[in-house]
Structure 1
């Protein structure tokens, strides 16, 4: 019986943010490191990003943005609850705080619900103008699409445009990572809860949810940042430990060869190396530096 195929989709977010980020994402795609991108249509280099995607045949989706920059919808750039007094979105935490203080009401009958719907539809319109087609997928910049107050209208807009895929950013174990400060643990725990609560809403609208998101926070971190120095130390420890483990396993295998009269148990050695490697990578490198 044929085994089901498992498709790994690695998406580069924030395409269009700036020319340097665009080029870095394209380089990753050409090197095989990512398989698709998500475009910020209200960012300064969105047109350049769309042209690059066409030139290199990069599968491209929409990174819906309600938290950074200015709205695409002209009528929302002034006198809108989605923007501050300078006409900019409230920001990653500011948007969430405004929802928490009920400065932004997302009741379906409210004007504010309509504002979000207008902005999402205008971002899809602009995406189509830039790329010549609808998004292959659509997710939310800084995970705004899974917020309790946003997920319903987000799902409805995708359903109306027949955009089949969205992202559910579940990052297992992130909120229990020991290197994170308490406020970030609370934040990521809430993100995971919001993501899981969004699944029934998205499925009810006929959307297919793409799980798990794993992000690495050092991609835009200065080289002299304390986290990078910690990473360098732990990578050194990792390399040394792998070398030491390999030496010990090789010695153990040689001992077993002698003890059993030349019968080499390579699967046993390989299994031990794999277990040691996975345990070290999980505890020392990946989890402490996942943000």
Structure 2
């Protein structure tokens, strides 16, 4: 039996006698703090055993409420670093900076990438904003993030990844996310524009690996979540994703959790976005909620993750839900 300090949700699900797990799985609810309805859905999902970890948007309109809920329910929490949506946290960057457009908001998911490609983004300002977001996280939660990833995967982008890794390393935040998903290209249902975007995300993530390694940052053996987002989340799609993950070699070049020794189990993170759909004009990061947050996909993910059949699937495949601190 592995000697791990299981999080509350893991202890809750663990039977009296549990065989050796094949996988330790962190199920992360992203965008915690985006709006009250997202917060409530994430808490409901955690209490039902559907997620085991959350990632907080500190510039979200309901970030303080989210931090209070995490404390009340003892939810493991990390930072969802945001450089693409809403308003910067760092006050000196809110009036005039390379991170914002003429309206005072971040450039957006694709706008940020385009500005970066044109060489128009100051890495000094990126670092100031990332450190300000960590500072606000500590102010809200009373401790450093247990992990730190990037909203819309900005943390693996060229140049940004170097700054991100330096901040994470300097502050001794132990874990990040590397969005390279096995089986990503064997999904015929995926729209062409998403396939193209995910292919670029994977390339950026692979290029980020040596940078993260150099800074001593860790991440699970396997990442999952791109193929199971929104309406693509189902019990069969989750089973498929878990099968790919369980077949992964923990000593592969994309993994950092092995650190030169053989792991008896695969470690993995599943990125999810459960919640109740945002009301129009309620929530967001300063600009109001986007279509993604207002869509029925949020509640669909919540319903699937809470389905007893998913928990039975974890049991059947000997998958143990946990937090990053349990890896």
Taking structure 1 as the reference length, what is the TM-score of the superposition? Answer: 0.71
Note the residue ranges of structure 2 that are not aligned, 5 or more in a row.
Answer: 3-19, 232-273, 275-292, 301-327
- DSSP 3-state at the match of 1:139: strand
| Counterparts of 2:152 and 2:30, CA distance in 1 | 10
Aligned to 1:37: 54
Q: Is the 8 A contact 1:175 1:184 kept in 2?
A: no
Quick check: 1:145 aligned with 2:163? no
Per-residue CA deviations over 1:171-227 (Å, capped at 9, x if unaligned) read: 23334532333332221111111112211111110100233121422365755x9xx
Any idea what SS the aligned residue of 1:8 has?
A: strand
What's the CA shift for 1:101?
Answer: 2.4
Structure 1 residue 77 and structure 2 residue 77: aligned? no
Change (3 A) 1:221 1:22: closer
Cα distance in 1 for partners of 2:56, 2:26 equals: 16
In structure 1, C-alpha distance between the alignment counterparts of 2:141 and 2:159, rounded to whole Å? 29
Question: Is the 1:203–1:209 Cα contact (8 Å) retained in structure 2?
Answer: no
How many Å separate the matches in 2 of 1:69 and 1:192? 25
Instruction: Tell me, yes or no, if the aligned pair for 1:137 and 1:165 is still in contact at 8 Å.
Output: yes
- Change in 2 beyond 3 A, CA 1:13/1:118: same
Pairwise CA distance, 1:97: 1.2
CA deviation map 1:82-138 (0-9, x unaligned): 00001100011111111122222xxxxxxx111000000000000000000000000
Larger radius of gyration: 1
Name 1:216's counterpart in structure 2: 229
Deviation at 1:170, TM superposition (A): 1.5
> Which aligned pairs between 1:87-166 and structure 2 lie closer than 5 A?
87-104=104-121, 112-166=122-176
Higher helix share: 1
Higher RCO (Cα < 8 Å, 6 or more apart): 2
Gaps of 5+ in 1: 105-111, 229-291
RMSD: 2.3
Aligned pairs (5 A) from 1:1-291:
6-104=23-121, 112-210=122-220, 211-214=222-225, 215-218=228-231, 222=295
Q: Which secondary structure state, in structure 2, belongs to the residue aligned with residue 41 of structure 1? A: coil
Tell me the residue number matched to 1:270. Answer: none
Counterpart Cα distance in 1 of 2:22 and 2:190: 35
SS in 1 for 2:203: helix
Deviation sequence 1:52-82 (CA, Å, 0-9, x none): 0000000000000000010000010121010
Query: What is aligned with 1:243?
Result: none
